[in-house]
Amino acid sequence: MSSSYTEAALVNDASAHRIAVKRVTLDCDVEMPTPVLNSALLARIRQLNLDYLELLVAERDSIDGSTQLQHLPPSNRAALGALSPRALRALAAMPFSLYSLGFEDENFWNSVSEGATSSESALAVQRYARVGDASAQCSFCELALLHAWHVAAKDTMAARMVYAMPYATARQLVNTPLWQIRCIAGSYGELMMPRWPTNPAFWPDLIRFAASNDTRRLHTTRLLGTQLIAAELEVACEISRQCPRIAPSLASPRLRARKLQLAPRVSVGKKPSVHEHDSK
């Protein structure tokens, strides 16, 4: 082998090595985009979902009456109570909350924001006085609302994906004083309820596929939830509110189910159920 051939081969090898090193360096310099729903956020949502589901199950045996379970049909209540711990964990593993805090209702949150502004002059002893009742549901609602505030403050896109929270509502929520957040949670018993309780497929499919450990169909139901969130956001945006052909048809099932009223928590035994209202 001639010396010129050897020198040429060494030069080519060195060039190839430099190119390879350069490519590795470039790959290292490129930052991978951070997912909107990171693993830590998903873990917290799943834990909150699981806690909420366990509270729903506990309501079946409660002598105080149900505040959350009343929104689900009786057949779903019984099926939910029969789920194993494994099935409950599978049901809770959604990338969005299984409870609703009504964020898609901009009128409600406008009223809440105005109330927060008008109460800012209250004394500290009044602001931090106990509100609501001592129920586990009330405590969970307060914690869930504080978590929603944290998500909205950190990433409005994540708040949209997890809570169907429009941008305008996210800004109002973030600007609400923290002490007022807990007052909202304790004062409005109708604030929290199961997500999409009147949808004919969501909860029945979710419970059935979790019970049978059908992961493929459970994933399909998860996609249905994502589509319902997109529909709620579409209704909440300005362009949808200006189109009566679209907005009422999408909003009516959710709004019929929740029946949010700006009133203190009342006894469930003295109030007709949502399904009684809908049947009229």
Give pLDDT tens digits for 29-40. 556 667 888 999
Rounded CA separation 66/59 (Å): 6
Query: Which pLDDT value is given to residue 163?
Result: 94
Q: What is the mean pLDDT of residues 213-240?
A: 86
The answer on pLDDT for 242 being more than 80 is no
Average confidence score pLDDT of the chain = 76
Parallel, antiparallel or unpaired: strands 193-194 and 99-100: antiparallel
Residue 194, phi then psi, degrees to nearest 5: -60, 150
Share above pLDDT 90 across residues of the chain, in percent, rounded to a whole number? 36
Give pLDDT tens digits for 136-147. 888 899 899 999
Query: Which pLDDT value is given to residue 212?
Result: 95
Residue predicted with more confidence, 24 or 85: 85
User: Which distant-in-sequence residues (6+ apart) come within 8 Å of 251 by Cβ?
Assistant: 104, 232, 235
Rounded CA separation 209/86 (Å): 12
Share above pLDDT 70 across residues of the chain, in percent, rounded to a whole number? 66
Give pLDDT tens digits for 149-159. 999 999 999 99
> Tokens at residue 246, please?
């679209």
Give pLDDT tens digits for 43-102. 999 999 999 999 999 988 776 666 788 888 888 999 999 999 999 999 999 999 999 998
Residue ranges per domain, the chain? 45-279
Identity of residue 41: L
Residue 103, phi then psi, degrees to nearest 5: -65, -20
